Structure 1
């Protein structure tokens, strides 16, 4: 259990101020941890013991003691004993948390705008762990399809058809999402996770492109359901003023999973069939799912909604669903081909090997993490709409630009575009959970997935045809109209949801 000990030697008068003055050491803290006193304290004994009333800790005890030195000065010792309620990820937070305790009562820059309870911290950490798996599974096919196509002797157009058919797996996602609105977030999420991992591992055994398409349809449908339910679950549990921050954390965790998938691509250089090894790696996710299954509770909002009678959809439901559906379609009209066709572009147009593709992706994709982190904090403090509009349009324009250049400018432009696009995860993405009531939240997100798949399929088909005829630059110049439209829609029609509870945004939940 971590310990933090801070000592200072002061004159008697200065010690009295430090101990008993405003926000003195003998008063309870109210920052990243809300304290309550467990013992009496005065200057004669100069001792206080405090426990956590609220905070991201399973155990917490702060002890303040004093010692009168021979020269008349007073030595004050402040000691913290605590254990974070952050499974798996505690190793990343122990040092900054300890420094924040030692340095005083100001909120540290890295902390979300709200104080988290132990339950909230535990749930978000477990869901972030599952998000790593979802990010890995969702990235594998896009990184390996070009090598699978070579082994099976298939054309680019055949691979494009396969990718389009796999997008029909959204029907699986919608069915799983609808089930989560009736049976619960936790159980449905865990079943989807197990199924997605096993189907992904089974991909390593396929004999042809048709079988790969069928097996990956199952895996992708379940992994997308995983990602959807992780997002919904987490935002239902997050504090009202930190939902965008939580979305950025989940996005970074999923990005880590994507990075692991990208990092496995060099395995394909080992031989014509070595791309299959990347799918075997998916089995490493099973112990993590079992770990989460033993510790993850059900969503409190879902449990509350289950006790209420089901009502008709509110009047604004259809408008919100249509607005977000158009957004999903238009964003993915550009983003899906920009992502899926990039490896083909790098391999065929720029002559990159599998290893060089991996290096390019890792060195240009790292900017997504800072983009999500910065935007998540700003969106919760300043608002979402302007940030979302700038991110979705700017990211697309820089991505378009990189398809027209070669050499180091191409690397720089896509890195900037990735940064800007990543800001939409906590700014634009949170609306998918905030705009719908609890009993319709998962199903609505599934329906939005259909719109996104339609945009992806249309974008991939159009980009493939236009790239063959006119080149990648012209193709993406036409498709960039989608993100530009979204930027306008956000400014004109999206509400500002910062620091508003889900019940305030959806009165049917109140």
Structure 2
């Protein structure tokens, strides 16, 4: 890891601002009575701060550090240096950091989960990204495309089996197995003889990817502190967005020739190269290890009124959300290509330019959910984000870019603010199964959405933009439900939210 240095010169009168232990993104400890400080390992692999006097009687603060996070340490270093230069705000956490310290083990786990999210999101995104090009080679109608997208949402049924299995044998085993199998079946899509073979292949591929993505969120929520669950979910979704973005960056390849879309499926096989390295940093949570030793009591958990109400509430919520979000994602290229005349390269540029800033909404949504509350952020993001995207599907020319960009920045805040409830509102031994059941209703919502948009686009409106805008009513109704029915779980331990887990730990 590269060592980085930050040097600040100051006068003796400013000593009080420097000669103390910092407790923001770095938790310092003074070395004896000296003016030297070291820190616990967190995002830092090495950290030391020294205050020394210069020959001209001025003082210098010299900070030497290396960052743990591989791959993006150069980007993270910019944020770290900016924060450390802010003398009077050093003890505060910046917007991109959770409002709590994370130890090095937790950071390694989250970073590994981000990498796995990237892979699974890549394979899960390919069908929606490439369907326009696939249908063009196989001469399929918009209605057929809608049917294929709807059928592909049946992936949650085999995924539910994997999620229930994970509650028994362990989340990490199922994550690694599913990631490997997802890579294999995604690669198989490259030799599809027709769109129906591809649809079946993608049901299996997405089943493994869906199970992995849901279990990744569960492992993360069980590993991180109470004040970092929404933040960690935002970080995972950024990893997923980068995976989807990788497919978007490669999208121009699909336009080279009628069959060049197959290349994007074929490269999925490369994911097998990183499964073993990832496995070294992925371990079961302490919560799961404790509860796995207790008798398996899912049936008793299911009869709990609290858990039943939470299951109904979140099932309805994900149904309403997916009425719009999944069709909006999967028909976006069809909207741009057929309705607005975008080329393959223009679609790739549009996706990259409008989707990449979504990381801002994810980061702010995760942080604000930990500081301002999940409900406030959820309602604001549902109303403003959905509204922007709806207007984008009804617009032309420059306004498409403006509304899509605004909606894409705000809407992603929904994911950490609302998504964190999926892991928080259920006890550990039922968390995977509950997420699978909720996923069934989410898929049902997406099937209704994509089939409706496909049908209306082919028979009523002769475009997909108007039907997509109509589906935006789902998230707007959900905003009302969140405001009146959802609990606020900000800062609460999982054992406080789920007393069943406390009973196991006490025993």
Query: Counterparts of 2:155 and 2:276 in 1: how far apart (Å)?
Result: 25
Q: How does 1:50-129 map to 2 (within 5 A)?
A: 50-53=37-40, 55-66=42-53, 69=55, 73=57, 75-101=58-84, 103-104=86-87, 105-109=90-94, 110-129=96-115
Q: Do structure 1's residue 202 and structure 2's residue 188 form an aligned pair? A: yes
Q: Do structure 1's residue 475 and structure 2's residue 467 form an aligned pair? A: yes
Instruction: Look up the match of 2:485.
Output: 493
Instruction: Look up the match of 1:8.
Output: 9
Of the three residues 28, 33, 40, the one matched with 1:35 is: 28
Query: Counterparts of 1:334 and 1:91 in 2: how far apart (Å)?
Result: 37
Instruction: Look up the match of 1:151.
Output: 137
Cα gap change, 1:401 to 1:185, in 2 (>3 Å): same
Runs of 5+ unmatched residues, structure 2: 503-507
Which is greater in Rg? 1
Cα distance per residue 1:93-140 (max 9 Å; x no partner): 233324434544332523221111111211111111122212212211
**Root-mean-square deviation (Å):** 2.2
Q: Do structure 1's residue 407 and structure 2's residue 397 form an aligned pair? A: yes
In the alignment, is the contact (CA less than 8 A) between 1:204 and 1:280 conserved in 2?
yes
In the alignment, is the contact (CA less than 8 A) between 1:170 and 1:449 conserved in 2?
yes
Cα gap change, 1:7 to 1:157, in 2 (>3 Å): closer
Match of 1:423, SS? helix
Query: Counterparts of 1:259 and 1:225 in 2: how far apart (Å)?
Result: 21
Of the three residues 451, 454, 457, the one matched with 1:464 is: 454
Q: CA deviation at 1:78?
A: 3.9
Query: Counterparts of 1:250 and 1:57 in 2: how far apart (Å)?
Result: 20
In the alignment, is the contact (CA less than 8 A) between 1:85 and 1:119 conserved in 2?
no
Q: Do structure 1's residue 503 and structure 2's residue 499 form an aligned pair? A: no
Normalising by structure 2, what TM-score? 0.91
Q: How does 1:239-258 map to 2 (within 5 A)?
A: 239-258=225-244
Query: Counterparts of 2:128 and 2:367 in 1: how far apart (Å)?
Result: 30
Cα gap change, 1:85 to 1:187, in 2 (>3 Å): farther
In the alignment, is the contact (CA less than 8 A) between 2:495 and 2:501 conserved in 1?
yes
Query: Counterparts of 2:497 and 2:173 in 1: how far apart (Å)?
Result: 26
Instruction: Spell out structure 1 runs of 4+ moving beyond 6 A.
Output: none
Q: How does 1:426-445 map to 2 (within 5 A)?
A: 426-445=416-435
Of the three residues 315, 325, 329, the one matched with 1:325 is: 315
Query: Counterparts of 1:397 and 1:66 in 2: how far apart (Å)?
Result: 58
Q: Tell me the number of residue pairs that the alignment of Structure 1 and Structure 2 aligns.
A: 492
Query: Counterparts of 1:439 and 1:127 in 2: how far apart (Å)?
Result: 20
In the alignment, is the contact (CA less than 8 A) between 1:6 and 1:102 conserved in 2?
no
In the alignment, is the contact (CA less than 8 A) between 2:176 and 2:279 conserved in 1?
yes
Cα gap change, 1:154 to 1:467, in 2 (>3 Å): closer
Query: Counterparts of 2:428 and 2:60 in 1: how far apart (Å)?
Result: 48
Cα gap change, 1:96 to 1:387, in 2 (>3 Å): closer
In the alignment, is the contact (CA less than 8 A) between 1:169 and 1:218 conserved in 2?
yes
Cα gap change, 1:403 to 1:62, in 2 (>3 Å): closer
In the alignment, is the contact (CA less than 8 A) between 1:401 and 1:473 conserved in 2?
no
